[in-house]
Chains A and B, each alone.
Chain A
Amino acid sequence: MKDLLWLVPLFPLLGAMVNGLIGHRRGWSHHASARVALAGAGLALLAGLGAIADWATTVGTHSVHVNRVFTWIPAGLATTADGLLADVTVEFALRLDALSAVMLFFVTFVGFLIHVYSVGYMHGESAPAFARYFAYLNLFMFAMLTLILGANLLVLFVGWEGVGLCSYLLIGFYFEKDWCAAAGKKAFIVNRIGDFGFLLAIFWAIKVFGTVDIATMQALLAAEPAKYASAVTPIALLLFVGAVGKSAQLPLYVWLPDAMAGPTPVSALIHAATMVTAGVYMVARCNFIYAAAPEAMLVVAIVGGVTALFAATIGVAQNDIKKVLAYSTVSQLGYMFLAAGSGAFAAAIFHVFTHAFFKACLFLGAGSVIHACGGEQDMRKMGGLKKYMPVTYWTFMVATLALAGIPIFAGFFSKDEILAKVFAAGTGNLHGYGSIYLALWGMAVVGAFITAFYMFRAVYMTFHGEYRGAPEAAHHGGGHGKEGREAELASAERGGHGGAFVPAGGEERHDAPPHQTEHHLHESPPSMIWPLRILGVGSVLAGLVGVSKVMTFHLVDLNWFEHFLHGVAPAVEVAHHPSLAVEWALIVLSVGVALAGIALARSFYYGPQAFTKPQRLAQRLPALYRAVANKYYVDELYEAIIVRPLVALARFTWKGIDTVAIDGTLNASAFFTEIAGDVLRFVQTGNVRNYALMVLLGAVAAALWLLV
């Protein structure tokens, strides 16, 4: 079975081709398209589980299994940087080891659940659009699995570009709306900037190592670290540029909030659970390069830590429920990079793993809420949904607790692991940058407080209090047809342009008396509820695979996750670990700040006095509030320093170079030819005797020239 690893990406690819090339054109029914897509994702899950089971039982979980499919690029001999000849042959090879097994498991599992959920969520679409959606979704699964299983950087890059393409296609799924198409383009272009760095890293690796195969590079680097010492830092930094683009870190995070223009299940699958974690995965995959490049690790940690805090503060003032989750994703990805930059690659992947469950659950819960509210995404127009949609409420609550880092929920174990490792890197003075790591740890703790605050703010605004929606929105909620989708688009459009801290205004509550609208609110259909339930359970249990030794007082070792990954992603250890008492103090502190964040959110957004305190705070600090609500004007900054000059440059090359220089030269030569013709045409008199005279004169001139 492990030798049939290539079947894992093949099934979704076949599903995408059948739906995209046949189903979409023939106008297959929703049932037929859904069946094909679910088969593609489901068979990938089964094949993946089979391959993992076979690999784990026959060769063991500490081994690396490589499945060579075919020779892709037999480039032949090339001279490397040190003047040696290397045989640069790129195999299309898939690699199964502990790291890719973890990713393979949760990507196929969460991906399959989101396929199921999409069947319910997207059923209002027309049949061709439905088939198109599932073709993209299956194609994404193919690309993501190629990315995960790639045994060398080039195969990984194929998947990397593939997920970017699918992300673009799915963000712009409602391409008839200009702003959806623009969001898709923004995502693609920003990602391309990162991909350029990744490509340069691959070229550099070929130049230095003469290969792109991960195992070979690792062996070469392990054999002669001194020889490659000067090359690893730039390679690591360029790889990280790619990761920054894909995983939405500062300064390239701006595409992810806009990516919420896509259908909500897409936000859950691609822009929360799987694709955006590809950057973290890639850094963990290349951990041997980073381990040899302390400065690159520091850069990774700083970018991650700053992003974690920065994005969390923006999340505080967002009113669009999906935007809150988007900034939370950016922030959590920051934590993952912070862990990777502190040398705790296993902790980073652990957070990727738990995050996939609870963030997918949150997004799908948000989708369920949006579905019920007839496409409304503005939390100011929600409220009181707890009693109408209990399953959505409880699963959303569980996932929120997981994200906030409350004990026994999944996020607690992984986030605490990260905080502990960063603190250890600080006190242990990792690579001599201890004080910087300590500062980053402080930022991460503050970020944890803000995370708990904004997530519970979302819960209270959405599920507690009284329903504040407009009657017509709730009316559409009854029929999940095209109108619902239109409303979702319209709402997201309004929400897209910043917003206020506070409800849209008291008067709306009087305009929409709850008793008129409440009976339209409803729980979502089973195909949406069951994925929520399963992911909710995952949000509780996923963390239990990686209970750190500190929490068990070193009595028993339950940190299976780290041991599982130890062979392929060993941590960069510091000499001195904090004592058990200090570690416990850290755990108490991180739980304490999470609880404090929840308490603050409760005092702000819960009960009869809800919304008055934040309103007063916003009035007292108008400048700060405006900056946060407008996302620190980063989009405006990009607009001013990059987009506008680029547009001006494009206009110059169009109006200046193309129109004036190129067209001008061409038109001028045509103009002078015309003028010359206008003058010279008078020579043609049409009178034969004139021609005869000219022949004579010519003959005389020729004779004179010959004689004289």
Chain B
Amino acid sequence: MITITHYLALSLVLFTLGVVGMVIRRNFITLLMCVELIINGATINFIAYARHLGDVTGQVFAVFLITIAAAEAAIGLGIIVALVRLKQTVQLDQANVMRG
């Protein structure tokens, strides 16, 4: 029997992978993928609780999150293209022109 605990565990694993990846990796594309993991972890959390509590609001939020993830991917890829044109790299360590 797959209970809500399993879903939450999956959600937590995905979320943690995303956060850890964001902190330790330097490739901008990987970072973007980590953000996707975080969002998807959160989406699974919403869906699990929506089913557990019988409330469709969670599902509505899941649809929103998918939309936001798509928009975020588009913007993120655009930034990557601009960065590559400017620095000929996707390594974030070399893109610190905003340093104070």
Contact = CB atoms under 8 A, between A and B. Distances in A.
B75 to A, nearest CB: 14
Interface string B65-100: 000000000000000000000000000110111111
Contact of A683 (B19, B96, B100): B100
B19 A688 contact: no
Contacts of B22: 689, 692, 696
B99 A685 contact: yes
Contacts of B96: 685-687
B31 interface: yes
A684 interface: yes
Contacts of A515: none
B95 A684 contact: no
Contact of B100 (A684, A688, A692, A696): A684
Interface string A558-602: 000000000000000000000000000000000000000000000
A682 interface: yes
B36 to A, nearest CB: 14
A686 B26 CA distance: 13
Contacts of A686: 95-100
A510 interface: no
A263 B27 CA distance: 90
Given A696-B19, A696-B23, A689 B100 contact: no
A688 B92 contact: yes
Interface string B3-22: 00000000000000001001
A693 interface: yes
Contacts of A683: 100
Contacts of B99: 684-687
Given A682-B100, A684-B99, A689 B19 contact: no
B15 to A, nearest CB: 11
Contacts of B98: 684, 686
Of A684, A685, A686, the most chain B CB neighbours within 10 A belong to: A686
A620 interface: no
Contacts of A688: 28, 31, 92, 95
B97 A692 contact: no
Contacts of B28: 688
A165 B92 CA distance: 76
- Chain A CB within 10 Å — which of B28, B99, B100 has the most? B100
Contacts of B92: 687-689
A685 to B, nearest CB: 6
Interface residues of A, number: 13
Nearest to A695: B22
Interface string A665-690: 00000000000000011111111110
Nearest to B34: A692
A113 B94 CA distance: 93
Contact of B93 (A681, A684, A687, A693): A687
A304 B20 CA distance: 100
Nearest to A699: B19
A687 B93 CA distance: 6
Nearest to B92: A688
A685 B96 CA distance: 7
Contacts of B19: 696
A686 B22 CA distance: 16
A363 to B, nearest CB: 77
A448 B93 CA distance: 103
Contacts of B26: 689
B18 to A, nearest CB: 11
A693 B100 contact: no
Contacts of A687: 92-93, 96, 99
A358 B51 CA distance: 117
Contacts of B93: 687
Nearest to B97: A686
A692 B23 contact: yes
A685 B97 CA distance: 9
Interface string A624-644: 000000000000000000000
Nearest to B28: A688
Interface in B1-60: 19, 22-23, 26, 28, 31
A538 B23 CA distance: 109
Contact of A681 (B23, B31, B100): B100
A674 to B, nearest CB: 14
B31 to A, nearest CB: 7
B23 A693 contact: yes
Contact of B23 (A682, A684, A689): A689
Nearest to A684: B100
A627 B7 CA distance: 111
A201 B79 CA distance: 79
A117 B2 CA distance: 121
A687 B22 CA distance: 12
A424 B16 CA distance: 116
A688 to B, nearest CB: 5
A545 to B, nearest CB: 93
Nearest to A681: B100
Nearest to B21: A692
A676 to B, nearest CB: 13
B94 to A, nearest CB: 10
Nearest to A683: B100
Nearest to B24: A689
A689 B95 CA distance: 11
Contacts of A680: 100
Contacts of A685: 96, 99-100
A159 B100 CA distance: 68
Nearest to A678: B100
Contacts of A684: 98-100
Interface of B: 19, 22-23, 26, 28, 31, 92-93, 95-100
26 contacts: A680-B100, A681-B100, A684-B99, A684-B100, A685-B99, A685-B100, A686-B95, A686-B96, A686-B98, A686-B99, A687-B92, A687-B93, A687-B96, A688-B28, A688-B31, A688-B92, A688-B95, A689-B22, A689-B23, A689-B26, A689-B31, A692-B23, A692-B31, A693-B23, A696-B22, A696-B23
Ranked nearest first, the 4 interchain pairs of A and B with the lowest CB-CB distance are: A684-B100, A686-B99, A686-B96, A681-B100
Given A685-B96, A692-B31, A696-B23, 14 more contacts: A680-B100, A681-B100, A682-B100, A684-B99, A684-B100, A686-B96, A686-B98, A688-B28, A688-B92, A689-B22, A689-B92, A692-B23, A693-B23, A696-B22
